[in-house]
Structure 1
Amino acid sequence: MNVNKKLSNIIFMAAFALFTWMWSDKYDGVITSVLGGIETESNIIDILGLGKWLFLFAVYFLILNKMLVDNRKTLLFSLYRYRDFKSWWKQYFFRLHITMFLYYLISCIVWYVIGVVTDNSSSHAVEIMIIFYMHLAMYFSIIAAADRILNKSITPCILILIEGVTYIISVQYRQIVLTFGMYRRMALMDNKWFQVIVPGIEFIVCWLCYFSVIRLWKKDKLELL
């Protein structure tokens, strides 16, 4: 990815952070309002809140998908630079995560600065950012693995659909556990250890995605191009 693309993505993420702050409720801390998810204890589905929540994922998925498409175009040349597919996949997988984390960090810095300037900081900002990012990182891993295994770009759409459907089901049947990416809803649970266990499980899923691609490659069940 050249300098111009990186710079445009940085500007885009900063603008994205500013835009999401403008629509937030602004009464519960900037980071909590944007990344905390939908706060509701009733069985009423918050359509507007759901739309805002899914928009967050859509933007990050858009950036990631652009990277995947660009890398797919130069895959043949990239493979020649490494000893084997495993070496390439290792640097490719972790470089995607590092790049997306940096873009996420830019968003968080903007939200944090806005919170400080407007005297509307979140009391659990770090915890919320970690919970949301681990949820996001799990999706990044699934998308990257599916891109290699299936060679299709529909995975982000499927994940957004799943995220929306699980929220609706969780409200309809009062199953808060299904919205494990939303700090506000997780905070309603009696078992506070759940907020620690879930990121751990998501971390494991990330590694499973990484090793699943290597496993399929070793079994010659992976189409490289």
Structure 2
Amino acid sequence: MTTVLIILTIILLPVLYNMLVPLKPPRLDGYFKSGQTFSSKMEGVTQTIIKQVGDKVYSEVTLAPGSAGPPEHLHISFDESATITKGTLTVKLNNEVIEMSAGSRISFPKEQYHTFSNNTNSEVVITCDQDSDYIPVSFVYSLAQFYPLLDSSSKLNMVHLLFKASMFGDLFDSYVVDAPVNAQKTIKMILRPYARVLGYKLYDSKSKP
């Protein structure tokens, strides 16, 4: 009986702590400045900030030759749109794959699975050049914090990603195609208290652009 109580205490204490000491969201007013960059070698993607206007971020995305791009995913709360300003981009939207050249507009509606990649030997550039082409600052902030983990050589890379994602919750509005969205949300909710106890944070100064 004593052993059971100890185990329950160990399991429940982080949950109680998470309830009594809620996470404070990061202050993102004016967080990004024009010209800042962050990148992922694994995805072959570099993001360059054009500007931040309130909670909207406009950026330019450069895909290196042969880059895989992000995993197939969807967003719940926002659409994505931009103009291909250089090269030929391979786009996948709801299982349809097409090649799009410079001058074309890409549009990924929310709740639609999508991804993009560069299957050529030349650089591809995607630019937010219209007022509607913004991304929520909370999502861009999350990406900047996640990219270093994606490129980590640690054997526990996936574990670190899961715990970090649990800290961000809905701030990181991206859900991969491999599992139901509600299941991914539930996993993040369950892991969050333990991630906090293990020292995971919403901010890592090394990840600032």
TM-score with structure 1 setting the length: 0.23
Could you say which structure has the higher helix fraction?
Answer: 1
Which structure carries more relative contact order (alpha carbon 8 Å, separation 6+)? 1
TM-score with structure 2 setting the length: 0.24
Could you say which structure has the higher strand fraction?
Answer: 2
